[in-house]
Structure 1
Amino acid sequence: MPRITTIAFDADDTLWQNERYFRLTEQRFAALLAPYTDAPDLVERLIESTKRNLRFYGFGMKGFALSMVETALEVTEHRVPGTVIAEILAAGRELLTYPIETLPYVDQALAGLERDYRLILITKGDIFDQERKLAASGLADYFAAIEIVADKTAATYERLFARHTEGAEHTVMVGNSLRSDILPALEAGAFGVYVPHDLTWSYEHAEEPPASPRYARIEHLGLLEATLAAFTHAP
């Protein structure tokens, strides 16, 4: 197998908690609309609206907040009061105030890996929000390069690996999303290490790839270094 020189990391729900705060906001949204609708699938309709609007607003809290407003208007047939819309927008803004909580083993893993590998961060979403979270996490100094992108596709990875690494064949992408972090990175020619998170957004779900010497699944980042060694010694 080629020599591995670069480890690329996803950010949200790979390095720090993120989805849990969107779930809390979904609950707040449902509570605000409870007096105005009895729709049993309210949260599901919000999720579908958010997915539908990705091509307009992209990933992140701004698009989510606008999708909450859109869904509130739809399910109440525009009867929802302006005061409730204001509270929904405030709930969206609160996503910018939650503390950044790094996941288990993150600091230890990054500190150990930076001695032997070039570390880069590849995350998607709103630039302002992602920069805020990275600064609050205290992890920025570990990374030789930081890329905030609109979406993650094989073409995205090909471009970024060409810019920041010795090539995809020398690079491992680590993340909690099979759809965004793992499958397109494998398609681009890199290795992929899937680290599941119990609250990963349904949009990011996908089938795991077939058994491959370039793919691994681990339960937490404390197991990453041993996995890299296994990649290096694979036939």
Structure 2
Amino acid sequence: MGSDIAIRVDGLGVRFRRNRRGRRSLKDLFAGSTRRNRPGEFWALRGVSFDVTHGEAIGVVGRNGQGKSTLLKLVAGVLLPDEGGVDVRGGVAPLIEITGGFVGDLTVRENVRLTAGLHGMSKAEVSRRFDDIIAFAEIADFVDMPYKHLSNGMKVRLAFSVVSQLDEPILLVDEVLAVGDKAFREKCYRRIDELLAEGRTLFFVSHNEKDLRRFCTRGLYLDKGALRLDASISDVLDAYNADYNG
């Protein structure tokens, strides 16, 4: 992979089941070829290929159920593909399902240390950035309260604050800016602007056209699990709007 490539997606495909079991079981994985469809399976993504260079800001659009969040999870390494591959050069800061991984019975202080550590931040880094994390989240009066007693808004603010402090070069964002009050959203916008100004790479899944136009220069339009269009964010949004708002 070239030195300027941050993410390479090549012939990517992933399948799911249309039942409660979701992804294939271990029994399924050991039973025959993974390329042969079985009853009840469908391709959430297939044949998707593109490159993202370092410092690019990419917006991913499409209706619900077209594979956007699945693609983001594949890039994050949360899911594994059934076909093709994803090659990511550099660590990722995943702002996806951001309240996941926090432990309800632990205090806010303990959760910050735990979650930041799981994302690769050293104990010294956590100590050095702890006050900034708490200040950004605006929960200084609650650091020794059990996490489960925080409001949903506080939980989102804390999670965003922790992940946005990571030094990873690639930022993965999935609709996180749709939550929280207006003042905090503006705070998040400014933080993402700062990260982009530092040369970070942004991979952003959203239905919010205003946010996509603000942060992104290039777009990927997913439709029925396939890459319909890879072009400027303006062209991608125009095509999407023409298909579904015309």
Interval of TM-score (by shorter of Structure 1 and Structure 2): under 0.3
Q: Please identify which structure carries the higher helix content.
A: 1
TM-score normalised to the size of structure 1?
A: 0.27
TM-score by length of 2: 0.27
